[in-house]
Chain A
Amino acid sequence: MTNEDADRRPAGGGTALADAPLLDVRDLRVEFRTRDGVAKAVNGVSYHVAPGQTLAVLGESGSGKSVTAQAVMGILDSPPGFVTGGEIVFQGRDLLTLGREERRRIRGAKMAMIFQDALSALNPVLTVGAQLGEMFEVHEGMSRKEARGRAVELMERVGIPAARERVGDYPHQFSGGMRQRIMIAMALALGPDLIIADEPTTALDVTVQAQVMDLLAELQRELTMGLILITHDLGVVADVADTIAVMYAGRIVETAPVHQLYRAPAHPYTRGLLESIPRLDQKGQRLFAIKGLPPNLTAIPPGCPFHPRCPLARDVCRTELPPLHEAGPGRTSACHFWKETLDGAR
């Protein structure tokens, strides 16, 4: 961290700044125009992250959680992906109105991303030192030698033993957990204000998962960064997140502070997700699963997109798209029957 970074970053904790969000995504819409039709991957997602806050975005594969993140980062594959509406306000500026070059300068420096599989997200033909140093070369115009020195510092910071000797090694020479640490180091290199972690621990085994999550959480708190944690692993979320947003078919169906959501979900889909976690005290019983499959994004069912799989579905669900209802302090639910769901859960 340079002094300049420290000055720029607000001093206090996250809570004091909660009303001045770092990132405010409003009604974001993304579609993929393919030969087989238009897939509406994100249909009006709104969420916000304050400095020092951790937002977990939860959902099945294809729920639009990664696409939303890619749109925020500005790395959507375009074509076929297009942002068709909404705003992405980051530090007071709508990113969607910025030019290509301005957005490139924000990427890496102000917001950075951690990818799921570090082995494939690191270039196999470059040493980790070269890849870490690249951050400084691209954004700060540093010489290769200086950048290498900074790379060693970064590797030490994320807990890689013998960093000085290992800076010239290639990604395949590191273990999975170490590689993910290097990914984290790359993301943190320039002291960004927002980190998007796209399933950062999915490719790791359970013990290493915990270490990597701890490291990430620790660095995040220390640097008061906003963190968006994209995951489908409810276990990872419980310890780390402040707020959870659950996505289904390109929409947010429920947002809630993490402990409230676990205690009493206000959307049938969230309840289904929580009930499908295998539990030790249910050994020998049949595992609960949500019936049916996530909808095809080229033909999302009318009304509530979850109604074909929902145990509470009634006529109104088949015709009317439920808005996000206020379901308590800091909670929203996109279900016509959120009250019943909430009461049923309690």
Chain B
Amino acid sequence: MPDPYVPKEAIGHGDGGSAALAIGEAESLERRPGAPGAGPPGPEPLGKPRSLWSDAWHDLYRNPVFVISALVIVFLVIIAIWPQLIATGNPYRADLAKAQQGSQPGHPFGFDTQGRDVYTRVVYGARASITVGVCATTGAALLGSLLGGLAGFFGGWGDTLLSRLADIFFGIPVILGGLVFLSVVTSTTVWPVVGFIVLLGWPQISRIARGSVVTAKQNDYVQAARALGAGNGRMLLRHIAPNAVAPVIVVATIALGTYIALEATLSYLGAGLKPPTVSWGIDISTASTYIRTAPHMLLWPAGALSITVLAFIMLGDAVRDALDPKLR
């Protein structure tokens, strides 16, 4: 065997450092791209790893859109859990003598047709909306990314089957489907509505998840992991999922806003939440008949709904911008 080498001192494993260092010398100067020159300015502690997530966070907390929408959402979540904090009244207490009266001391938003305090009802209504929004989004995101992720990773007939199934669910008109499915339900809890939204919402998430898994699967590092002996589970969980999850988070955040709007729409049509539950959609529905004589009954819950939906959609936008490296 020809040996064209000038023998170098062997790199043993114990004392390899010094010999190896000599080879690496030329490059050692340019190590740490985060040091002067490259990267954003600022006191960047050396060696502090910056991943996609820490980069995204770095972008987010300096983005006013994110900060405002996040504050609104935190506020909404707090009053959804503890409405008593800012509304001391009882949302069910009706004083028919005051029906449809406008704003007055102690009752800033006025009264509805049954003489209930609109302010208290708007505050208590956040609970239903946030519960439906969060639960439906969680359910749809889990189901959708599980099915979509597996379909994208394994491909084949399962993938085809799932894609066609998703198409079928996509084809169901949301309002019509809601009216048909939910009108047969007698439960007054939020769960039938949550279930219905998950049922119609997962195909959207699963398409996104499938797409990003298919993209991530083609990356060289997945091939490399396979070449180094990783099994399917390890490749999917450790190498593909963290690189495919960002689009799912973005779509889910935006979907949360639209799910809240959908709940209100269904409740407005009488197919969503049922009356003992306090819901903006139900109140809007009742108030719409009196829009000429007592517009305040409609405007306050509608305003609360709009702000909530807007906050989630803006949050989703901000997250998308932060997680998309191409926009950096």
* Interface positions of A (Cβ within 8 A of B): 1, 13-15, 52-53, 73, 75, 104-109, 112-113, 115-117, 120-127, 134-135, 138-139, 153, 156-163, 165-166, 168-170, 172-175, 177-178, 181, 183, 186-187, 189, 207-208, 211, 214-215, 217-219, 221-222, 239-240, 242, 257-259
Inter-chain CA distance A134–B234, complex, in Å, is 10
| The residue from A117, A125, A259 contacting B2, defined by CB atoms under 8 A apart | A259
Could you say which residues of chain B place their CB within 8 Å of the CB of A187?
Answer: 228
Inter-chain CA distance A53–B1, complex, in Å, is 8
* B229 located at the interface, meaning its Cβ lies under 8 Å from any Cβ of chain A in the complex: yes
Could you say which residues of chain A place their CB within 8 Å of the CB of B52?
Answer: 124-125
A50 CB to nearest B CB, Å: 9
Contact A127 B49 (CB under 8 A): yes
Inter-chain CA distance A177–B24, complex, in Å, is 9
Could you say which residues of chain B place their CB within 8 Å of the CB of A169?
Answer: 47, 49
| The residue from A175, A186, A215, A239 contacting B228, defined by CB atoms under 8 A apart | A186
* B93 located at the interface, meaning its Cβ lies under 8 Å from any Cβ of chain A in the complex: no
Could you say which residues of chain A place their CB within 8 Å of the CB of B13?
Answer: 1, 153, 157
Residue interface mask B157-178, A partner, CB < 8 A = 1: 0000000000000000000000
Contact A177 B16 (CB under 8 A): no
Inter-chain CA distance A45–B129, complex, in Å, is 65
Inter-chain CA distance A169–B33, complex, in Å, is 11
* B231 located at the interface, meaning its Cβ lies under 8 Å from any Cβ of chain A in the complex: yes
| The residue from A52, A159, A222 contacting B1, defined by CB atoms under 8 A apart | A52
Could you say which residues of chain A place their CB within 8 Å of the CB of B2?
Answer: 242, 257-259
Count B interface residues, CB 8 Å: 46
Residue of B nearest to A161 (CB): B28
Contact A219 B226 (CB under 8 A): no
**If A112-B228, A113-B224, A259-B2 touch, does A172 touch B28 (CB 8 Å cutoff)?**
no
Inter-chain CA distance A116–B223, complex, in Å, is 12
**If A122-B224, A153-B13, A215-B23 touch, does A105 touch B229 (CB 8 Å cutoff)?**
yes
* B26 located at the interface, meaning its Cβ lies under 8 Å from any Cβ of chain A in the complex: yes
Inter-chain CA distance A181–B24, complex, in Å, is 10
Contact A168 B49 (CB under 8 A): yes
Contact A156 B23 (CB under 8 A): no
| Candidate in B19, B21, B223 with the most chain A CB atoms within 10 angstroms | B223
**If A75-B226, A107-B227 touch, does A123 touch B49 (CB 8 Å cutoff)?**
no
**If A107-B228, A138-B234, A174-B31 touch, does A221 touch B5 (CB 8 Å cutoff)?**
yes
**If A157-B16, A208-B27 touch, does A239 touch B4 (CB 8 Å cutoff)?**
yes
Could you say which residues of chain B place their CB within 8 Å of the CB of A189?
Answer: 228
**If A159-B24, A219-B11 touch, does A170 touch B49 (CB 8 Å cutoff)?**
yes
Could you say which residues of chain B place their CB within 8 Å of the CB of A219?
Answer: 11
Contact A121 B27 (CB under 8 A): no
Contact B223 A13 (CB under 8 A): no
B22 CB to nearest A CB, Å: 8
Contact B228 A173 (CB under 8 A): no
Contact B33 A173 (CB under 8 A): yes
* B239 located at the interface, meaning its Cβ lies under 8 Å from any Cβ of chain A in the complex: yes
* B61 located at the interface, meaning its Cβ lies under 8 Å from any Cβ of chain A in the complex: no
| The residue from A165, A170, A217, A258 contacting B51, defined by CB atoms under 8 A apart | A170
Inter-chain CA distance A286–B294, complex, in Å, is 88
Contact B11 A159 (CB under 8 A): yes
| The residue from A108, A135, A156, A222 contacting B17, defined by CB atoms under 8 A apart | A156
| The residue from A15, A112, A139, A162 contacting B227, defined by CB atoms under 8 A apart | A112
| Candidate in B1, B16, B19, B26 with the most chain A CB atoms within 10 angstroms | B1
Residue of A nearest to B47 (CB): A165
Contact B239 A123 (CB under 8 A): yes
Inter-chain CA distance A259–B34, complex, in Å, is 45
A18 CB to nearest B CB, Å: 8
Contact A217 B229 (CB under 8 A): no
**If A161-B24, A242-B1 touch, does A138 touch B34 (CB 8 Å cutoff)?**
no
Report B1-42 residues with CB < 8 Å from chain A CB: 1-2, 4-5, 8, 10-11, 13, 16-17, 19-24, 26-28, 30-34
Inter-chain CA distance A208–B27, complex, in Å, is 8
Could you say which residues of chain B place their CB within 8 Å of the CB of A173?
Answer: 32-34, 49
Contact B27 A135 (CB under 8 A): no
Contact B221 A121 (CB under 8 A): yes
**What are 17 pairs between A and B in contact, CB < 8 Å?**
A73-B227, A105-B229, A116-B220, A123-B221, A123-B238, A124-B52, A157-B13, A160-B24, A161-B21, A168-B49, A170-B50, A173-B49, A175-B31, A208-B26, A218-B5, A242-B1, A257-B2
Could you say which residues of chain B place their CB within 8 Å of the CB of A161?
Answer: 21, 24, 28, 31
Inter-chain CA distance A172–B220, complex, in Å, is 15
Given contacts A124-B52, A126-B242, 16 further A-B contacts (CB under 8 A): A1-B13, A13-B1, A75-B227, A109-B229, A113-B227, A120-B219, A123-B238, A124-B51, A125-B52, A156-B16, A157-B20, A159-B19, A159-B23, A173-B49, A181-B24, A208-B26
Could you say which residues of chain A place their CB within 8 Å of the CB of B4?
Answer: 239-240
**If A112-B227, A161-B28 touch, does A222 touch B221 (CB 8 Å cutoff)?**
no
Could you say which residues of chain A place their CB within 8 Å of the CB of B50?
Answer: 170
Contact B20 A156 (CB under 8 A): yes
Report B226-257 residues with CB < 8 Å from chain A CB: 226-231, 234, 238-239, 242-243
Inter-chain CA distance A134–B10, complex, in Å, is 26
Report B175-220 residues with CB < 8 Å from chain A CB: 219-220
| The residue from B8, B21, B32 contacting A218, defined by CB atoms under 8 A apart | B8
Inter-chain CA distance A55–B36, complex, in Å, is 43
Could you say which residues of chain B place their CB within 8 Å of the CB of A115?
Answer: 220, 223-224, 227
